């Protein structure tokens, strides 16, 4: 069977698995070093394929191409940009199964979640296509000062120029899209860099962008080791904005080397769920299960601290134990699998270390607490976690529900806000006054009332405070971030 992606890959001599090329300046190229990165299926360790290992020269060529193309992109009409974005969505839909299969294989993501990721991606491109046509400026009168009563400014919205999109492994298609779709909608040229663990699906998106009619050089993609080419991707002067999603440590380093350019940082989280004693227990159980265990907890917005009122903690725990028993570890391709593997051995090591530390300091392991075969870690519930344990504060990024019992609402708020992170938080209660109070006081970009973190198709602004980042994403929000205001001021001399 032929596929639109055949032209961007060729079979490897080693084992016949595909090697993907990079899109630089309208050409699908190999790395100048001819080195590749092997992409493994985290489920069984088999080779999914290979991608190029870009050198600094390759990354520079991609940035130069975007820099050269930014003028033609800025001149493209909103009508044309919108049509191209819609065509990208069509092409993803036409090749939906292949996108899903690749996410399942390279990220180890259970199939239903990979399906959701592809649907969310299509919807974001469609939303960006609509928003492209809604970019408007403003007219400002100068009459707030007595000496320029007559002035009138026409404030236009212009693209920034070149946007660098650095992407994490956990939503290998969707998070790239959260940056790329609004960047193109706003009229920017783009360079994208996928995570080395699961980069292939973003090359497929690149092909869809090319096929949809994007002019040469406007969209470029390079794969390579973040530690080797990363500083260049942050610091190159031809880049106007870096939109980065990944760990807080890499983000903080990137912010230091970025220099005079706009930065957007979507970083780590340690999201709390406050559960008060009047909460609807069915909702709490359902939402906390999804919040803690979806994609095996490999989500920045995972609920990884359940701050529960001691009066209802026992009831919650007994319900949770029954729910966790229903989770099924296995091949992410099987429809019955809810828990796939973790992304790599370092991810497993982090979970092992954090659970061991908690166990040694007296946490109660209600279930799990062990690694499985390969890159699996059993779904785990830790009860009676206390503030001296690392897992109360450090990002786990694994399938662990961490239960911290609290005596009252104020203690819960204090513990929630003591974190260095501030991405999302949830509160479960039927007391509307407390819900509103928590909504105002919780130090995070989003507060969910009676729900686990979820952010729609990019219409609800999303992002973190403190070490969780700088700025907010979302289609409209990012079009705002990725445009600048440009004022043309009229100074009329004639006044009749």
User: If we measure between CA atoms, which residue out of 400, 188, 380, 222 comes closest to residue 304?
Assistant: 400
Dihedral sign for Cα atoms in the order 83, 85, 91, 93:
negative
Binding segment for ligand NAP (CB under 6 A), chosen from 211-219, 229-237, 375-383, 409-417, is 229-237
Smallest gap, in angstroms, from Cβ of residue 247 to ligand NAP?
Answer: 3
Smallest gap, in angstroms, from Cβ of residue 30 to ligand NAP?
Answer: 18
User: If we measure between CA atoms, which residue out of 51, 109, 117, 104 comes closest to residue 342?
Assistant: 109
* 164-to-176, 362, 468, 474, 490 alpha-carbon distances in Å: 10, 45, 19, 17, 35
Smallest gap, in angstroms, from Cβ of residue 421 to ligand NAP?
Answer: 9
Longest dimension (CA), the chain: 84
Residue closer to ligand NAP by CB (options 342, 416) is 342
Residue closer to ligand NAP by CB (options 95, 298) is 298
Residues 264-293 that bind ligand NAP (CB under 6 A): 266-269
Smallest gap, in angstroms, from Cβ of residue 112 to ligand NAP?
Answer: 19
The rounded distance, in Å, linking the Cα atoms of 169 and 298 is 9
Alpha helices in 345-483 (DSSP H): 345-360, 409-417, 432-441, 475-481
Answer whether 56's CB lies under 8 Å from 232's CB. Answer: yes
Residue 245 in contact with ligand NAP, rule: CB under 6 A: yes
Dihedral sign for Cα atoms in the order 20, 23, 27, 32:
negative
Q: State both tokens at 385.
A: 């976690």
Of residues 225, 252, 318, 420, which one binds ligand NAP by CB under 6 A?
Answer: 225
Residue 168 in contact with ligand NAP, rule: CB under 6 A: yes
93 a catalytic residue: no
Residue closer to ligand NAP by CB (options 316, 462) is 462
Binding segment for ligand NAP (CB under 6 A), chosen from 42-50, 244-252, 313-321, 329-337, is 244-252
Residue 453 in contact with ligand NAP, rule: CB under 6 A: no
Answer whether 13's CB lies under 8 Å from 34's CB. Answer: no
Smallest gap, in angstroms, from Cβ of residue 255 to ligand NAP?
Answer: 11
Residue closer to ligand NAP by CB (options 57, 414) is 57
The rounded distance, in Å, linking the Cα atoms of 335 and 109 is 11
Residue 122-161 contact track with ligand NAP, rule CB under 6 A, x = bound: ----------------------------------------
Of residues 131, 287, 395, 467, which one binds ligand NAP by CB under 6 A?
Answer: 395
Smallest gap, in angstroms, from Cβ of residue 301 to ligand NAP?
Answer: 7
Of residues 69, 300, 342, 351, which one binds ligand NAP by CB under 6 A?
Answer: 300
Residues 6+ apart with CB under 8 A from 252: 267, 467
Cα angle 38, 101, 243 (rounded to 5 degrees) comes to: 65
Answer whether 53's CB lies under 8 Å from 226's CB. Answer: no
Residues 6+ apart with CB under 8 A from 443: 416, 417, 422, 465, 466
111-132 and 174-185 helices, crossing angle to 10°? 10
Residue closer to ligand NAP by CB (options 230, 399) is 230
373 a catalytic residue: no
Q: Which residue is nearest to ligand NAP (CB)?
A: 230
Smallest gap, in angstroms, from Cβ of residue 175 to ligand NAP?
Answer: 6
Q: Which residues are near ligand NAP by CB under 6 A?
A: 166-170, 175, 193, 195-197, 225-227, 230-231, 233-234, 245-247, 250, 253-254, 266-269, 300, 395, 397, 423, 464, 468-469
Catalytic residues: 266, 300
């Amino acid at each position: 069977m032929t596929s639109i992606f055949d032209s961007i890959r060729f079979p490897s001599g080693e084992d016949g698995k595909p090697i993907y090329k990079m899109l630089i300046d309208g050409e699908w190229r190999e790395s100048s070093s001819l080195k590749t990165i092997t992409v493994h299926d985290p489920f069984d360790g088999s080779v999914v394929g290979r991608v190029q290992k870009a050198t600094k020269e390759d990354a520079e060529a991609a940035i130069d191409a975007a820099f050269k193309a930014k003028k033609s992109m800025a001149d493209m009409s909103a009508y044309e940009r919108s049509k191209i974005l819609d065509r990208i969505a069509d092409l993803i839909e036409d090749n939906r199964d292949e996108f899903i299969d690749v996410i399942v294989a390279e990220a180890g993501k259970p199939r239903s979640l990979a399906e959701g990721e592809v649907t969310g991606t299509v919807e974001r491109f469609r939303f960006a296509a609509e928003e492209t046509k809604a970019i408007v400026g403003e007219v400002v009168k100068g009459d707030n000062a007595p000496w320029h009563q007559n002035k009138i400014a026409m404030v236009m919205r212009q693209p920034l120029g070149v946007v660098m999109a650095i992407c994490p492994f956990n939503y290998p298609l969707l998070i790239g899209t959260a940056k790329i779709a609004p960047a193109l909608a706003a009229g920017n040229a783009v360079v994208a860099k996928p995570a080395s663990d699961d980069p292939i699906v973003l090359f497929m998106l690149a092909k869809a962008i090319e096929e949809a009619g994007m002019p040469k050089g406007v969209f470029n993609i390079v794969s390579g080791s973040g530690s080797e080419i990363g500083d260049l991707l942050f610091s190159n002067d031809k880049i106007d904005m870096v939109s980065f999603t990944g760990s807080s440590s890499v983000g903080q380093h990137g912010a230091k080397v970025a220099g005079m350019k706009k930065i957007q940082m979507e970083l780590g989280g340690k999201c709390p769920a406050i559960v008060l004693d009047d909460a609807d227990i069915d909702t709490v159980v359902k939402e906390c299960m999804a919040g803690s265990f979806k994609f095996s907890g490999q989500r920045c917005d995972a609920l990884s601290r359940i701050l529960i009122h001691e009066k209802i903690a026992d009831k919650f725990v007994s319900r949770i134990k029954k729910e966790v028993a229903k989770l099924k570890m296995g091949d992410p391709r099987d429809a019955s699998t809810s828990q796939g593997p973790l992304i790599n051995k370092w991810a497993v090591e982090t979970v092992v270390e954090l659970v061991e530390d908690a166990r040694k300091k007296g946490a109660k392991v209600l279930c799990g607490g062990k690694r499985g075969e390969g890159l699996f870690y059993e779904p785990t519930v830790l009860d009676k976690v206390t503030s001296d344990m690392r897992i109360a504060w450090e990002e786990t990024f694994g399938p662990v529900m961490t239960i911290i019992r609290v005596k009252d609402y104020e203690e819960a708020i204090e513990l929630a806000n003591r974190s260095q992170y501030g991405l999302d938080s949830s509160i479960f209660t039927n007391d509307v006054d407390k819900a509103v109070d928590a909504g105002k006081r919780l130090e995070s970009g989003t507060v969910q009332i009676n729900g686990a973190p979820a952010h729609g198709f990019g219409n609800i602004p999303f992002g973190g405070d403190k070490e969780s980042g700088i700025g907010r994403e979302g289609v409209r929000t990012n079009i705002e971030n990725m445009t600048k205001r440009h004022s043309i001021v009229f100074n009329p001399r004639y006044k009749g």
